[in-house]
Structure 1
Amino acid sequence: MASLTQVAEVLRVEAGRLRANMDAEALAAKKLRLKELEARQLLSEHIEGIARVIDNLAHRARLQNCLNDIAATRPISVLAGQLTRTYISEALAGRMNEELTRLELRHVEAGVSSAGEAGAVRLGIQLLDCQLAPHQVLSEAEQRMCALAYFFAELHQSGSTSGIVFDDPVSSLDHSHRTAVAQRIVEESANRQVIVFTHDAVFFGELITLCQDAGLTPEVRSISYRSEGPGYVDVGLPYDMRRHRERIVQHRRDQQQIAASFNSPPGDTERYAIRNAYSDLRVTIEIGIEDTILNETVVRFRDGISVGRLNGVMAVQEQDFREVQRLHDRCCRNVSAHSHAAGQQRPVTHPDELLGDIEAVNTMFTRIRSRRG
């Protein structure tokens, strides 16, 4: 049994602790400490989720800073404009003026302007020593030539050798400008693939001639509209632009179709088919004179005379002259372009005779070519 002294000591300690808890400040400190411990316990239970929230808030803050930087585009525009003027505009303008010279537009001296907007830089063409916009000074043809010069300059500065496509690049241009554009396109085709769409026969002739002069062999395709619809691609020139040897092949095909449906006695359908065939054959004779006898020295839709081909021009012999005249007269007697005396009641030429005339034209020009050696 504890002694009374020991019991009294325990009671004194307890009484002291109780008196201490009666101190308001000490009690408040203990209560605060208790809440802190309870909060730490709660935090420990949700620490991973809270850490994720903190990371998300930090990421959001970084994104907001980026958004603020993007919204303030003026500094970017100013810097981009300075870099463009220093490293692009001057070099591009110099190359563009070289291209203008190559395109025979020496009286125009252009520069390249740059303008920044929303962080992007737009380049444009300006005329040196002129306060007006190019479209207020230059003709439509000159504007197109400047656009082509800018395109070639930008192409050169890019260092790329990718293929390029032109869609009728000489519309609204006069003849001298067409020639310059054709020359520049042919020059560029030595470095890259160049595709040109055009319906301009003169411009096409210029391209072909300049390719031949440069020792280049272009691939030619024609796009036609048939009864089935548009967009049919054929190898070679359109029929009306083909040389006489290619046309002879088509004449034979047409003759076979006419012969297959030729009625005896013939009617208007047969008459029209034969007349059209002879009209076409007459054109072939004229083209044969151009490309065989004259050796393409003088060609329609071509600028100038090919003097270098004069050595292949054939002296027309009496036999050749009379055969050309005979076949040409045969065509003229059958075509619809001439008015025929109704009283003659001229019969419709038989398809066999048509085939004979086709082969006679082919034989005549083959014989003339053989003499050239």
Structure 2
Amino acid sequence: MAQATRTRLEEALGGLRSVAIPSEQVISENFAIYAEDNAVRAGVTSHLVEAIRDFERRRAAMVSGATEIPGVPELSDLLATVRGEHNFLEAEAHELEHKATHPARLDEKRARLAVLRDRNTFAANLPSMLQRHADLSALQCIRRCLQLVNTRAISTHITALRKEMVTAEFNKRIQSEIEVLDLKHIPFQLQETSSGGQNLFSIGLQGVKHVKNNQVLSEGEQRALALACFLAEIGDDREKYGMIIDDPVSSLDHIRMRRVAKRLVAEAAKGRQVVIFTHNIVFFNEIVSEASRFGEQTPLVKTVIRKTDSAGFGVIEEDKEPWVADLSARIGALRDRAKSYASLTEFDTESYRRLVKDFYSDLRETWERAVEELVLNKTIVRFVPDVMTTRLKAVGVDDDDYRTIYHAMKHVSERSGHDMSSGRDIPQPKPSEMADDLNVLDDFRIAYRAKQKRLTEAREKLEEPVKAILE
């Protein structure tokens, strides 16, 4: 009897263990969307989770044989609520399914959706549409204004006045500038038009067929023609405003370069301030030479823009040409460099070799400058067009002068960049030797200056007639 009872108990407990009670997590996940719908459905979900928790506790107590087993929870209200929710959701699903499959309602919703999309597009494009409307309105007003202020009558009247008061004189000035800049051999003609009440002038080639200037003229001729037109345009400027010209001689030959220099200096002689930028040293000296010919009428300021290691680009200096300076300035600069080397103690380094090479390269150039400026007394100067024969009175090169120059140039040239053979790998000169080599030049300069003074005094006597002796 007891065994039979035990067997039935085990069967009952086995059936109890096999009852599938969903976990709280399963209930929460499956009812998550349902619970988010409103507060009532969130409460139903909570009650279901609590009921599952109670049933799980009751089964655990029964299976374990506990003496106190929790009672069966009261679920009648919860079941009624769940059945009501089930019926309501099933009816709602049926209604939605019916609406979704009904053609008329579907078309109505599609039409409604299209209207909403159009409204959304219109709202997004409304600022652009309003701006476009404003632009079109303004354009319509402008076109109306243009009709009311047509400039044809003004242009016609201006053309007549221009031909009477401007064209003839302007054409005369252009032809004069063309002749000055050596372009007279090219057949040009003045062309004029009026546009929007403005006068427009151009210079073109004469011919049966219109040909662009750049199809016939060289780059230098185009540059000269542009400069001629510019000078003609300001030729009647009674206010004498200043002129700023950037590199006006690009692509010009030497003859036309000189003509441009004379023309610009002549403009300055009228009392006009002329500012010229150039990279061309020949043109620079043409300007200087022509300005000196006018004298006080054309005061000149020479400004050099250069680069230094300390300040970089854009260093501006007036009346000073850095390494194109006179002989005395070059010797002074080299002497300062030689003094700065006095503290050096290592003479076998690559940096010292380059320092020596640069020093002797500049010393060689300074000897060349000495021949130009001192020995030849600037009778002939690089980049200067004139030959100043009167300076020959201070020129007198004897054998001693030649010997000094020859051996000094040979010595500095050996150090200034020539690739020395390995067999003549002589040591680098010390700073004191560099200073001594510089002193050779300085002593020569001092001695030759004294010699020039004596030569000048003697040769000036040759310029005067021999005075007759009355007996």
Does TM, normalized by the shorter one, top 0.5?
yes
2:346 is the counterpart of 1:346: no
- Matching residue's letter, 1:162: Y
- 1:259 aligns to what SS in structure 2? coil
- Matching residue's letter, 1:330: H
Q: Among residues 33, 55, 73, which one is paired with 2:151 in the alignment? A: 73
Report deviation, 1:128: 4.8
- 1:230 aligns to what SS in structure 2? strand
Report deviation, 1:281: 0.7
Distance 1:282 1:114 in 2: 59
Report deviation, 1:345: 3.3
2:276 corresponds in structure 1 to 196
Deviations 1:233-292 (A, max 9, x none): 1234543433322222221232233334x2244422112101210111100111111122
1:161 corresponds in structure 2 to 240
2:184 corresponds in structure 1 to 106
2:217 is the counterpart of 1:138: yes
Matches within 5 A, 1:171-182: 171-182=250-261
2:193 corresponds in structure 1 to 115
- 1:189 aligns to what SS in structure 2? helix
Distance 2:432 2:148 in 1: 82
1:357 corresponds in structure 2 to 437
Distance 1:110 1:82 in 2: 23
Counterparts in 2 of 1:277 and 1:123: CA distance versus 1, 3 Å: same
Distance 1:185 1:129 in 2: 31
- Give the length in aligned residue pairs: 306
- 1:108 aligns to what SS in structure 2? coil
8 Å contact 1:100–1:108 — kept in the other structure? Answer: no
Matches within 5 A, 1:75-94: 75-94=153-172
Structure with greater contact order relative to length (CA < 8 Å, sep ≥ 6): 1
Distance 1:148 1:110 in 2: 15
2:354 is the counterpart of 1:275: no
Distance 1:333 1:217 in 2: 44
Matches within 5 A, 1:263-302: 263-302=345-384
8 Å contact 1:111–1:127 — kept in the other structure? Answer: yes
Deviations 1:56-106 (A, max 9, x none): xxxxxxxx9x95687311111111222222211211110111112222222
Query: Structure 2 unaligned runs (5+)?
Result: 1-141, 454-471
Counterparts in 2 of 1:119 and 1:265: CA distance versus 1, 3 Å: closer
Report deviation, 1:198: 0.9
8 Å contact 1:259–1:351 — kept in the other structure? Answer: yes
1:150 corresponds in structure 2 to 229
Higher alpha-carbon Rg: 2
- 2:428 aligns to what SS in structure 1? coil
1:323 corresponds in structure 2 to 404
2:269 is the counterpart of 1:187: no
% identity of equivalent residues:
28
Query: Structure 1 unaligned runs (5+)?
Result: 1-63
- 2:241 aligns to what SS in structure 1? coil
Q: Which TM-score applies when normalising by structure 1?
A: 0.74
Distance 1:308 1:160 in 2: 41
Counterparts in 2 of 1:70 and 1:194: CA distance versus 1, 3 Å: farther
8 Å contact 1:206–1:302 — kept in the other structure? Answer: yes
Report deviation, 1:109: 4.8
- Matching residue's letter, 2:246: D
Distance 1:330 1:217 in 2: 43
- RMSD of Structure 2 on Structure 1 (CA): 2.5
Report deviation, 1:364: 1.4
Counterparts in 2 of 1:79 and 1:290: CA distance versus 1, 3 Å: same
- 1:231 aligns to what SS in structure 2? strand
- 1:241 aligns to what SS in structure 2? coil
8 Å contact 2:177–2:228 — kept in the other structure? Answer: yes
8 Å contact 1:90–1:112 — kept in the other structure? Answer: no
2:312 is the counterpart of 1:229: yes
Q: Among residues 420, 428, 447, which one is paired with 1:367 in the alignment? A: 447
Q: Which TM-score applies when normalising by structure 2?
A: 0.60
